[in-house]
């Protein structure tokens, strides 16, 4: 699938910030075999005093910007064309849950794909007895890891109520789980905690969803904003798979990846430190439109 993606983020400050430094993860990723960034442009207003591109530990492209003059708003605008390649259907060659520990132990690597980074607690995900118990209810020791991921993702989707008003970016997974409501960020953090709680390495993916569903299908939740879902490691053979708990589905060509990490902290679209006194507000909008494939190809 080919998409044209438009993202607009507006940060407004109550009293002008005298300066600031921000780390951005806004551009769709270029992932060989999964996704191709055909073209991408990030426009920032006002123009920052510094702008520097980089790559973080998990391989996500970053842009670091700095301001040294007073400003009371920043506008980020991404225009990108992305080709999302269809993933081969998941061949379930994953071990049963009981065998996963040994496979994790076999990976002698600290590379960014190594499952060991995605176990235990991270900044925004703490293992929690209630969530672990919830996950245990849904799986059995003989279940394969892929089936366990599906069972937990689906189970969570059934137990939770999607409510864009109920939580904020600062809501913890525990709190959202206790009230059984939230948005994609909460669903994803909860699912990660559930998976890690029973020993499945799990991470967080930020990205986009196509805005308008194909004819005859329902519109997906979270399509009008930046989206998030979960990746899980299913053994040496199967590797990483991705599941969207908000929509209860394995990730396919409707999902466009921006960044991957352990949780939201690793992939936050705009991280920043301001020299400012007042409060700030954020607004953002997303457009993900499939590009008609009926291009004129004048092959003579």
Partner 1 sequence: MTGASLQQVRSFGTLLADYRPLPGVADELLDGAGAIRQAWLPLLDHLSRLSPAEMQRRFSRGDQYLRDAGVYFRQYGEGAVAERDWPLSHIPVLIAESEWRTIAAGLAQRADLLEAVVADLYGENRLVAEGHLPASLIATSPEWLRPLVGVRPPSGHFLHFLAFEIGRGPDGTWWVLGDRTQAPSGAGFALENRVATARIFSEVFRQANVHRLAGFFRSFREALMSLRGDDGSRAGILTPGPWNETYYEHAYIARYLGLMLLEGEDLTVENGRLMVRTVAGLQPISVLWRRLDASWADPLDLNETSQLGTPGLVGAIRQGNVAMVNALGAGVLETRALLAFLPRICDALLGARLAMPNIATWWCGQPTELAHVKANAAQMTIAPALSTGLPFESDDMLALGGEVCRDTPDPFECWLDENAAGVVGQEAVTLSTTPVYEGGRLVPRPMSLRIFLARTATGWQAMPGGFARIGGSNDATAIAMRQGGAVADVWVVGEGPVAEDTMLARPSDPYIRNQPAFLPSRSADNLYWLGRYVERTEGIMRLVRAYHGRLAETGDPSVPLIATIARHLECYGVELERGIPTALLQTLSAAVNSASKIRDRFSVDGWMALTDLDKTARRMANTVTAGDDAARAFSILLRKVTGFSGLVHENMYRFTGWRFLTIGRSLERAHAMAGMLAAFADPQAPEGGFDLAIEVGDSTMTHRRRYSVTTTRETVVDLLALDAMNPRSILYQLTVIRDQANLLPAAQVHGQMSALSRAMLKVHTDLALQTPETLDTAELLRIGGEIAALSEGLSADYMS
Residues lying near partner 1 in the complex (CB under 8 A) are found at: 21-23, 50, 52, 54, 56-58, 64, 66, 68, 104-105, 107-111, 114, 116-117, 119-120, 265, 271-273
CB of 123 to partner 1, least distance (A): 8
CB 132 within 8 A of CB 194: yes
Q: Which is nearer to partner 1, 132 or 211 (CB)?
A: 132
CB of 246 to partner 1, least distance (A): 25
CB of 180 to partner 1, least distance (A): 25
Which one, of 209, 224, 252, lies nearest residue 89 by Cα? 252
Most distant CA atoms of the chain, gap in Å? 66
Which one, of 106, 87, 123, lies nearest residue 249 by Cα? 87
Q: Which is nearer to partner 1, 111 or 140 (CB)?
A: 111
CB of 49 to partner 1, least distance (A): 8
Burial of 23 (0-12, 13-18, 19+ CB in 10 A): middle
CB 254 within 8 A of CB 200: no
CB of 218 to partner 1, least distance (A): 37
Q: Which is nearer to partner 1, 69 or 285 (CB)?
A: 69
Radius of gyration (C-alpha) of the chain in whole angstroms: 20
Q: Which is nearer to partner 1, 57 or 133 (CB)?
A: 57
Q: Which is nearer to partner 1, 117 or 255 (CB)?
A: 117
Q: Which is nearer to partner 1, 141 or 164 (CB)?
A: 141
For strands 161-162 and 181-182, give the pairing: parallel
CA distance 133 to 147: 17
CB of 109 to partner 1, least distance (A): 6
């Amino acid at each position: 699938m080919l998409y044209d993606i438009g993202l607009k983020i507006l940060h407004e400050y109550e009293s002008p910030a005298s300066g600031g430094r921000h780390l951005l993860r806004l551009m769709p990723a270029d992932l060989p075999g999964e996704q191709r960034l055909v073209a991408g442009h990030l426009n920032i207003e006002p123009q920052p005093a510094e702008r520097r591109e980089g790559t973080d530990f998990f391989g996500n492209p970053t842009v670091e910007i700095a301001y040294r003059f007073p400003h009371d708003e920043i506008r980020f605008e991404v225009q990108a064309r992305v080709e999302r390649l269809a993933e081969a259907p998941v061949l379930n060659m994953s071990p049963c849950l009981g065998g996963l520990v040994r496979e994790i132990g076999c990976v002698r690597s600290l590379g960014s794909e190594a499952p060991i980074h995605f176990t235990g607690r991270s900044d925004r995900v703490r293992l929690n007895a209630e969530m672990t118990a919830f996950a245990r209810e849904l799986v059995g020791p003989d279940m394969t890891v892929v089936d366990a991921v599906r069972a937990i993702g689906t189970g969570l989707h059934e137990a939770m109520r999607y409510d864009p008003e109920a939580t904020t970016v600062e809501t913890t997974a525990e709190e959202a789980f206790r009230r059984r409501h939230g948005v994609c960020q909460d669903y994803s953090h909860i699912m990660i905690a559930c998976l890690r709680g029973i020993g499945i390495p799990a991470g967080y993916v930020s990205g986009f969803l196509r805005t308008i569903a194909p004819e005859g299908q329902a519109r997906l939740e979270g399509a009008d904003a930046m989206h998030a879902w979960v990746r899980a490691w299913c053994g040496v053979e199967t590797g990483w798979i991705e599941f969207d708990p908000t929509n209860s589905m394995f990730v396919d060509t409707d999902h466009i990846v921006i960044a991957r990490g352990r949780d939201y902290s690793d992939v936050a679209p705009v991280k920043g430190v301001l020299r400012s006194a007042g409060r700030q507000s954020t607004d953002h909008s997303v457009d993900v439109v499939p590009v008609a494939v009926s291009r004129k190809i004048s092959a003579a």
